[in-house]
A and B are shown apart, each in its own frame.
Chain A
């Protein structure tokens, strides 16, 4: 059987493909990945199932095929009385929709869609972790630089500079990184010969 994944996010598509292959029930699946939908190439693949990221603008092009062609993949949402409505809803919430050709096994659809949902959620969590790690790193850098500014301008130790920053943060109820950013902004203004 043929599964087509349409996702502009290559890493996420790879994660979904790997998830489908890892399931013994779908070991025979041939999985294709297109970053965008290409109508002219659909015949070459003849997928039984299409998985598409909701963020892909191409979804409406794929969706319209059901009107023009009898044998075209149709949205899983059309078959909800036959498959599991929760599966579809969870998939949409995770940002993925599925299309199948008529007569395709509902059990396999549900299990592949569940895998795709989990992988989409996993990718989102990984991205969130990465964003947080980057923000943490940026915060630590500005705190270090703000300490440097305080040490130079006030002639104090690193430890004292840190205490001043922390006290400011606690007094104003703001994150230390925000206080540090303020200090850096002000120190920029005060630099001689600038502004």
Chain B
């Protein structure tokens, strides 16, 4: 029996698994008749999932959590049975700011944050406007990365920086016109800005956190409850896409992503983002798709840290209602992947590849380290 469903995505490189599911026939092979819906903004995806116009979507990891915390439109719960990879964003700044922040190739990310603090002081002394930084959505990893970065330099993100939400398609223009000083966006927008000379990439996700969570597969909970087998088939299809992506030649992946109905951006920018000089997007099914409860808690910790919600929540329960490692395990086991024994891990503090307890075999994990040496223990 064929199960029909609609999946939304935002045209970014990190929607790769959702796109490959269609392009390479993994949905069909799992008995799923998927219609992809290319969406122009995150609010559409959120609302269309609320009203059942989308059954699943490529979403920013904090979006289902925002809903779980009762922020924004809250009709219907969204669960996250898998992550759609790790990393993929970059921070782009104006050439002027780049010169102020980077002294030589030995400049570390922590140094840039301190240099930004000096730049902010200079501007204030000169009566110049505040530094303006842009992000694509308020409940986004981008927002938290930028705030964590500036705070590490001793800057008060609420009082000393002006924040603005802009669509990635308008960020490069705003930077060139001097409306903003920098932005954080998913690929390939930063690379397009760089290639067009509108700004320079200051840092990418792996510089901030080598194994940073970013997008998840959001599934409308009522749909998941009505189609328990369908959810597993969907996760299986996306894990198979990740198996392909991990082994694939970057050029082949880039060609698929560049198609007009998919990411639809210049091939050169997509390839640059996927290259070793790029945004560090990882699509390994074994190490970057497990929906870690510790990720959910790190994000919710950011909500509290930045005043987007109060500390009066049962974060453990909310995390476990939304992030669903049980569903990942079921799908991954049927494909013969190794299954992590725990739902939570320590985030940060692993500067070199390390071994994660799993069955039947332990998993060799990539380094998991934050730029400021921070370690997050959720359990």
Q: Which residues of A contact B (CB under 8 A)?
A: 39, 54-61, 63-64, 66-67, 75, 77-78, 80, 85, 88-89, 92-93, 97
Contact = CB atoms under 8 A, between A and B. Distances in A.
A64 B137 contact: yes
B47 A61 contact: no
Nearest to A62: B43
Given A61-B167, A64-B137, 8 more contacts: A54-B40, A56-B41, A59-B43, A80-B73, A88-B51, A89-B51, A89-B52, A97-B47
B26 interface: no
Contacts of B46: 77
B133 to A, nearest CB: 13
B289 to A, nearest CB: 26
Contacts of B23: none
B364 interface: no
B47 A92 contact: yes
Rank and list the top 3 A-B pairs by shortest CB-CB distance, nearest first.
Answer: A57-B167, A64-B165, A77-B73
13 contacts: A57-B41, A59-B40, A59-B41, A60-B43, A60-B167, A61-B167, A63-B41, A63-B43, A63-B72, A64-B137, A75-B72, A77-B51, A78-B73
A159 to B, nearest CB: 42
A5 to B, nearest CB: 16
A92 B44 CA distance: 8
A93 B42 CA distance: 15
A85 B308 CA distance: 27
Report the interface size class on chain B: 20 to 34
Contacts of A78: 72-74
B325 to A, nearest CB: 29
Interface of B: 39-44, 46-48, 50-53, 71-75, 136-138, 164-170, 308
Contacts, number: 76
A60 B53 contact: no
A167 B265 CA distance: 43
Given A57-B167, A59-B43, A66 B72 contact: yes
Given A56-B41, A60-B136, A92 B48 contact: yes
Nearest to A81: B75
B51 A60 contact: no
A57 B40 contact: yes
Contacts of B40: 54-57, 59
Given A64-B165, A67-B138, A75 B48 contact: no
Contacts of B72: 63, 66, 75, 78
Given A56-B40, A59-B44, A75-B47, A67 B308 contact: yes
Given A75-B43, A77-B75, A57 B308 contact: no
A64 B48 CA distance: 17
B54 to A, nearest CB: 10
Contacts of A61: 164-167
A106 B140 CA distance: 31
A63 B164 CA distance: 12
A75 B46 CA distance: 11
A39 B44 CA distance: 19
A30 to B, nearest CB: 25
Contacts of B73: 75, 77-78, 80
A4 B162 CA distance: 26
A34 to B, nearest CB: 14
